Structure 1
Amino acid sequence: MPNTPIWSLPYPALSDSPNVPTDMQALAEAAESAIASVDAEVAAVDEKYAPLLVNAPGCLLLKTANQSIPTGADTRIANWTTTDGYNDTVGGLAMADLLTGVVTIRETGVYDFEFRGVFGAGVPQTGRRILYITRNSAAPSASNTVAANTKVPTQDSAVGFPVLVRGRRRFTVGQTLHPVVWHNQGHDVDFRGDLFAGALQWSVQKVRA
């Protein structure tokens, strides 16, 4: 009796004598064995990664109030109103400072991070809008900028310009991450949450050791 190439499930060939009960039993036993092997692999993955997913340090900061950003100045987003979700405390130490928005890495590892918000409308729209994530300093530079994203308006907008920066990097214990905003519109611009609803969001989450 031949078998399938991947899971070795048996099936009758045209030359085999018909025997439905025997053939069905062979197929059922082979399928059960294949399922058991998959279950074992899934269990091994769960055992390896479940503790990380449950206990991994991370934080989500939200800010509902607008913040005025002066033109041409690196500005750290401050006075976050709440932190939500994730495992914000590791060894009794909070990762996030709500007053400054600074996140302190409490465990060495690889982290996902995301910072997003909206530059308010202003007419005419000129210049650039940039979000930075900086490491160990609130002043962006070639050496400490972890990630950045730039928006250059091509036309005026009545609702504003959303910008998002995200990435994945390895950080070590004690390093600090700062969400920083910059623009050169020529006058102060409000920085706020989503276009129509929602809060500013700044999140950091460990994904692996």
Structure 2
Amino acid sequence: MPTTPVQALPYPASTDAPNGPVQLQALGLAVEPKLMMVFSTATDRDAKITAPTAGMVCWLQTPGCQAFYDGSAWYNQGRQRIVANRAARDALTNRITGDTTVEADSGSPFLWDGARWRGLWPSRYLYVPAVEVTAITNEVGIVRIDIPDMGCRYSAEFTAAAIVNKSVPGDLFHIVVHNGTGNPPPSLSGLTLTVEPVESGISGLLRRAQGAIGVQNGAYAIQVNVVRTAGSGEGAVSASGLNYANATIIPSWS
């Protein structure tokens, strides 16, 4: 029988002896591998297609995705979906490696790596102006950055800045950055991330403390405090309105 020029599908020629069943069977066998075949699972597919060829595609009812054969192995194709929010994304149960979602409320894209969701969004910048602080006696918080649950693992780099005006020049202060405890500011406990001294006799100069936090999963807080480290203990201090803290949030693939 001759065949079509593109997909080589057989058809009877006028000179072929009439044999409808054989000719239809030949056409069916040639067409079937080129269709979007449907199988219940990958196991069902592999049992029925024992000699796949490159370019074959199929639909797997479980986990509900398309798959293709590249000449050496079958690969499931990840799906792209838009979900309403984080809760809707977390509620997805038929996830496969390579699935991507975009949260409609935040516009943030995520990728399922087979174990967890990974953020595909670029780094984000958070900025918080300080509140004025007076009458510091030991340690008082001046500003706090609250990093929300980003929906994936992330790290952060931060910069804290403060102007400390001392009424007693000899008093010694440090700018201390802690990780937050989840309490309203000032939150004075937690791991010390970095310390920047304010020198004796110097008042009103901007001091910056920089650092980074390791990989986190969930909400986190960075608390910037002014700490008296030495001196009379009687002098007052004011924190200028120029105090601030900022952080750059970076999705993590570690």
Give the TM-score normalised by the residue count of structure 2.
0.41
Structure with bigger strand share is 2
Structure with bigger helix share is 1
Q: Which has the larger radius of gyration?
A: 2
Give the TM-score normalised by the residue count of structure 1.
0.48
Structure with the bigger RCO (C-alpha within 8 Å, sep 6+) is 1
